[in-house]
Amino acid sequence: MNEADVKRSIVRSMHEGNGYARRLEDQYAVGVYDMIIIPIGLPVFAAEVKIIRNDTFGPTPRQYIELGRIEKAAVKGGHVIPVMIGWENGVFYFHKTQTHIKCSDCFSVTTSDMPFYKQIALYYYSQKE
DSSP letter string, 40-67:
TTS-EEEEEEEE-BTTEE---HHHHHHH
Residue 56: other Cβ atoms inside 10 A: 14
CATH class label, 3-128: alpha beta
Q: Tens digit of pLDDT for each residue in 84-127?
A: 999 999 999 999 999 999 999 999 997 778 999 999 999 999 98
pLDDT recorded at residue 128: 77
Q: Where does the pLDDT of residue 129 fall: very low under 50, low under 70, confident under 90, or very high at 90 and above?
A: low
Cα separation, 31 vs 60, whole angstroms: 7
pLDDT recorded at residue 110: 77
pLDDT recorded at residue 49: 95
Give, in order, the Cα–Cα distances in Å from 37 to each of 14, 42, 58. Answer: 8, 10, 18
Where along the chain do its domains lie?
3-128
Q: Tens digit of pLDDT for each residue in 14-43?
A: 999 999 999 997 777 788 899 999 999 999
